Amino acid sequence: MIVKTPPMGWNSWNTFGPNINDELIRTTADAMVENGLLEAGYNYLVIDDCWSLRERDENGKLVADPVKFPHGMKDVADYVHSKGLKFGMYSCAGTRTCADYPGSFDHEYVDAKTFAEWGVDFLKYDYCFRPNYVPGHLLYKKMGNALANSGRDILFSACSWGAHETHKWIKTTGAHMWRSTGDINDSWASIRDLAKHQLNIWDYNGAGCFNDMDMLVVGMNGKGNVAVTGCTYEEYKSHFSIWAFLNSPLMIGCDIRNMTEETRSILLNKDIIAINQDPACRQAYIIEGDNWWAGRVYMMAKRLNDGDIAIGVFNLGDNDEWPNFQLDSIGLGYATGKKLVWRELWTGETGESVDVMRFHGMAPHSCRVYRGKIVDA
Ligand code: GLA
């Protein structure tokens, strides 16, 4: 299985934590279709931790909690598939999951077979309760082999939070995406810190195996399992844009059955999604230039498959900022005889720049994201 662009979907953890059940999953599947999320590319519906009984059965198999999932997981998977969606589940490389349900350690092959039989298309694989004598790369190699030989295409989503230098070995395990950060929570501080942390490891990202900056908190508005302060509309826009720019998987974490118009307008911004899903999957790079705002404003460019250049300007600081850069820094500039004709992807504002691109009066935590075409000046 080759995963060519960052996976997109919904995951139960951020809002629902342990409070998951059959009805939630079915109504969420319905909402993914009715709200246009599936059409926009969000095609994986993933159940996170807390879906099973606390112990395996007498044959050593995982058992779905009969109170939460009275019809079993295969029935849930069939429903999710009937909506045109793909179905994801969760386990852990250790002896127990992070919420203390049975983990897959020493049960990798039997669990991979169970997931395949249930019709699972995606496995998130966590890192809690890891036996200390086994290095992480061996734990993930075991499950990677088990999934790849399970008889079903199952996307392998590794979740070792970047621990033990995950970036150095994760591509040897068969993983298609890997958590490059600790857990997100619904606050600006968390978004900002995960974004900054990612800048040091984004070279490891690429088609086939994507850096996963964790599930989105867009639209949580301070409610749910990982809620803290909540964020403003501008902050959620910046969050979504940064994750899109850095080729992170886009896994929604809010209750999509009850989205506000603002939430919908962020998650369904097709132009921003197109930057994330660009078929070339090129890494963004930091635009060099005057840097008296260093550490506060991050300017990034990303070359797109059709020759366009995406430019993202992110004010991660707490003051208004007036950044700019010279187009030489992205391979343009006056002497080339070319200019950049651009459109801002949140406001629709259009314009062109020949020598310098200026970003006046950027409010704290705000962003501007452009798609530019190179044409004759
Ligand atoms: C870890 C993971 C989270 C979530 C929880 C579930 O903290 O990083 O994304 O899956 O476990 O217990």
Write out the DSSP string of 109-142.
Answer: HHHHHHHHHHT--EEEEE-TT--TTS-HHHHHHH
What pLDDT was estimated at residue 292? 67
Nearest to 251 by CA among 2, 52, 12, 3: 12
**Residue-level pLDDT at 290:** 63
pLDDT at 199: 85
Q: How far is ligand 1, taken at its centre, from the CA of residue 319, in Å?
A: 33
Q: Which atom of ligand 1 is nearest to the CA of 182?
A: 8
Give the type of residue at 25. I
Nearest CA to ligand 1 atom 3: 183
CA distance 72 to 66: 7
**Which residue's alpha carbon is nearest to atom 9 within ligand 1?**
183
Cα angle: 215, vertex 218, 223; to 5 degrees:
95
How high is the pLDDT of residue 291? 65
Active-site positions read: 126, 183
Return the best residue to mutate from 15, 89, 90, 98 for the ligand 1 pocket (most ligand atoms within 8 A of CB).
98
Residue (of 91, 5, 6, 97) closest to 47 by Cα position: 91
pTM above the 0.95 mark? yes
Q: Give the distance (Å) from ligand 1 centre to CA of residue 164.
A: 17
Pocket test for ligand 1, best of 183, 225, 251 (most atoms within 8 A of CB): 183
Q: In 3D, which of 225, 143, 219, 135 has the Cα closest to residue 176?
A: 143
Tens place of pLDDT for every residue, the chain, 377 residues? 999 999 999 999 999 999 999 999 999 999 999 999 999 999 999 999 999 999 999 999 999 999 999 999 999 999 999 999 999 999 999 999 999 999 999 999 999 999 999 999 999 999 999 999 999 999 999 999 999 999 999 999 999 999 999 999 999 999 999 999 999 999 999 999 999 999 888 888 999 999 999 999 999 999 999 999 999 999 999 999 999 999 999 999 999 999 999 999 999 999 999 999 999 999 999 998 666 677 899 999 999 999 999 999 999 999 999 999 999 999 998 899 999 999 999 999 999 999 999 999 999 999 999 999 999 99
Pocket perturbation via mutation, ligand 1, pick of 13, 20, 51, 225 by most ligand atoms within 8 A of CB? 13
Q: Locate 323 and state its tokens.
A: 């950044």
CA distance 240 to 218: 7
- What is the CA angle 49-51-54, rounded to 5? 95
- Which residue, judged by its Cα, is nearest atom 1 of ligand 1? 98
Q: Please state the atom number of ligand 1 nearest to the C-alpha of residue 161.
A: 8
Q: Calculate how far, in angstroms, residue 182's C-alpha sits from the geometric centre of ligand 1.
A: 9
* pLDDT score of 274: 98
Q: Which of 106, 146, 56 minimizes the C-alpha distance to 64?
A: 56
Domain ranges of the chain: 8-276, 285-376
- Position 161 scores a pLDDT of 96
Indicate the fold that domain 8-276 takes in CATH: TIM Barrel (3.20.20)
* Strand locations in 152-249 (E): 155-158, 177-179, 210-212
Task: Please give the biggest Cα pair distance in the chain.
Answer: 74
Which is the closest atom of ligand 1 to the Cα of 127? Answer: 1
What six digits make up the tokens of 42? 């969000």
State the residue for tokens 């994760």: 170
Q: H or E segment at 33? A: helix 22-34
User: What's the pLDDT score for residue 312?
Assistant: 98
Beta strands per DSSP E along the chain: 8-11, 44-46, 86-92, 122-126, 155-158, 177-179, 210-212, 250-252, 285-286, 297-303, 309-315, 324-326, 338-344, 350-353, 356-358, 367-376
pLDDT of residue 295: 82
Would you state the pLDDT for residue 200? Answer: 82
Task: For residues 28 and 120, give the distance between their C-alpha atoms in angstroms, rounded to a whole number.
Answer: 17
3-state secondary structure of 101: coil
- Which atom of ligand 1 is the closest one to the Cα of 90? 10
- Residue bearing tokens 């230098």: 165
For the 285-376 domain, the top CATH level (class) is: mainly beta
Question: How would you classify the pairing of strands 285-286 and 297-303?
Answer: antiparallel
Start-to-end CA distance of the chain, whole Å, equals 44
Give the distance (Å) from ligand 1 centre to CA of residue 373. 41
Ligand 1 centroid to Cα of residue 264, in Å, is: 25
- Distance (angstroms) between ligand 1 centre and the Cα of 362 equals 34
Pocket test for ligand 1, best of 159, 160, 213, 216 (most atoms within 8 A of CB): 159
Q: Which tokens go with 329? A: 């820094």
C-alpha distances (whole Å) from 132 to each of 96, 128, 138, 180 are: 13, 11, 12, 20
Burial pattern 357-369, b for ≥16 Cβ within 10 A else e, equals bebeebebbbbbb
Ligand 1 atom nearest to 99, measured from its CA: 12
List all residues whose CB is within 6 A of at least one atom of ligand 1: 13, 48-49, 97-99, 126, 159, 161, 183
